[in-house]
Amino acid sequence: MSNRAEPELRHTLQKRHLSMIAIAGVIGAGLFVGSGAAIRETGPGVLVAYALAGVVVVLVMRMLGEMAAANPQTGSFSAYADRAIGRWAGFSIGWLYAWFWIIVLGIEATAGAVIMNRWMPGVPQWTWALALMVVLTLTNIASVKSFGEFEFWFAAIKVTAIVAFLVLGVLAICGLLPGVEAPGMSNLTGHGGFFPNGTGAVLAGVLVVVFSFFGAEIATIAAGESANPAEAVRKAVRSVVWRILIFYIGSIAVVVTLLPWDDASVALSPYVAVIDSYGIPAAATIMDVIVLTSVLSCLNSGLYTASRMIFSLSRRGDAPPSLATIGRSGVPRNAVLVSTVVGFLTVGLNYLYPETVFLFLVNSSGAIALFVWLVIAASQLRMRRSLEAQGRELSPKMWLFPYLTWVTIAAIVALCVGMVALESTRSQMLTSSALAAVVIGVGIYRQRRRPAPSAETNAEVADRVPETT
């Protein structure tokens, strides 16, 4: 047996990296582009839809923060499900979550390639997708600090864009922006009322917007590679409320107040429509830059998140041991490369079979966000008393436990039922549920064939690299 220390995950993510990851983690391309569909379906009442979806996310993040601050781990909710519910649960939700982000790689690489091809049509679209994937793979392989640095600047651009949008929006609403007439309440109430399609449309709108919040949990995974993970988790969880209020509800409020919700330009690209109304030239190009930044950020963080979840699964014996190998730079290189290879395959399938194979893959990941949130809530319900019995300091604590936890579980189940009831989301829920059933079946089979590890192994050693070989 050798006494040579093996490489470990480096705790080199700085406070500014984690702060910006936490702040901008929920700002994706879906906010800038996808919100148009929600506005078209719901009207100004989309604000209520965003608020309701935001409440669910805040409660889920509060529960995750309670567990993560008490026991920070790279595997985050997958590791907690392992202990609170069973090995099969940690295995299942960990692989489903990694699968979600791997599919996102294919979606986002294609979205970025479309923008780049629009700027430089002489270069084939697939070449841009390949280039984006290669660059961000190299970033993730180099070091965790390089991931954090790229993410910091991507996030800074997104946050700056949103803040500028909000400032100009408030000035325009107040009639203080030259050339823009103050709209008053005309756009909120003058085109069929605040709920032009009825209150039922708001509930359907929740199903459209709720998935745009997915990604807030990345901060709890990244915290495992910081100098003070518990404090990083606390800050991320405590900031989630104002992040949702300002970035989502605030910016959408600007859109529906300044422009009629039923305007064709709003449905197509709401943020471009508002920037156009300010009289700012090249609005579409400005938004392309912002969306491309969001795409690059999502690629960067998606590859990081998938690789770290696969790494954690490997440490717990739920993935091949080779995927837990850490290079000299402190990065789980094999886990990154596996995530990248599958990501490259999904990009290829998007170009070869966009309406068949790739659509099936996208549908298979469509409801995973709800499954993750449900597992987080169930884990916290079972872990809370266990943590208190161990004398763990719980900060932050879930409010009104266990009542709000049960309310959150009921809300998530209702969203799942809603996805089945709504024709536009039914295929996503059914396909995702079929995939989840297969993965859970594998997890249960594996658990029955192996003895459960000790509590100490699950709690303390899940993501730790042995110091000797």
Domain boundaries, the chain: 15-445
- Does 82 have pLDDT greater than 70? yes
Q: What is the helix (H) or strand (E) element at residue 70, kind and residue range?
A: helix 46-70
Give φ, ψ of 329 to 5 degrees: -80, 0
Token pair 């270069």 in the structure block, residue = 123
Dist CA 12 CA 66 (whole Å): 23
Residue environment code for 162-173, b if the CB has 16+ CB neighbours within 10 A, otherwise e: beebbebbeebb
Q: Is the overall model pTM greater than 0.85, yes or no?
A: yes
pLDDT higher than 60, residue 118: yes
From the centroid of its chain, how far is CA 416? 18
Q: How far apart are CA 15 and CA 461, in angstroms?
A: 25
Tell me the pLDDT band of 468, cut-offs 50, 70 and 90. very low
State whether residue 396 is helix, strand or coil.
Answer: coil
Per-residue model confidence (pLDDT) at position 455: 41
284-to-257, 271, 277, 458 alpha-carbon distances in Å: 20, 9, 12, 50
Rounded to whole angstroms, the Cα distance separating 367 from 428 reads 6
Q: Show the CA angle centred on residue 236, arms to residues 234 and 241, nearest 5°.
A: 110
What is the topology classification, in CATH, of domain 15-445?
A: Amino acid/polyamine transporter I (1.20.1740)
Q: Nearest to residue 288, comparing CAs of 27, 113, 134?
A: 113
Rounded to whole angstroms, what are the CA distances from 433 to 92, 197, 302, 409, 430?
A: 12, 30, 22, 17, 5
Cα Rg, the chain, nearest whole Å = 22
* pLDDT tens by residue, 243-259: 888 888 999 999 999 99
Least confident of 83-87, 211-215, 321-325: 211-215
pLDDT band at 372 (very low <50, low <70, confident <90, very high): very high
Alpha carbon of residue 112 to chain centroid? 18
Asked if 200 and 48 count as a contact pair (C-beta separation under 8 A), the reply is no
Nearest to 101 by CA among 334, 319, 310: 310
* Lowest-pLDDT choice from 89-93, 235-239, 273-277, 288-292: 235-239
CA distance 392 to 198: 47
Higher pLDDT, 2 or 448: 448
Q: Give the pLDDT score at 146.
A: 87
Query: Could you tell me how many helices (H) and strands (E) the chain has, helices first?
Result: 22, 0
| Average pLDDT taken over every residue of the chain | 87
The token duo for 11 is: 């705790």
177: left (phi over 0), alpha (psi -120 to 50) or beta: beta
- pLDDT band at residue 33 using 50, 70 and 90 as cut-offs: confident
At residue 34, does pLDDT exceed 90? no
Residue 232 confidence class, pLDDT cut points 50, 70, 90: confident
Q: How far apart are CA 272 and CA 312, in angstroms?
A: 41
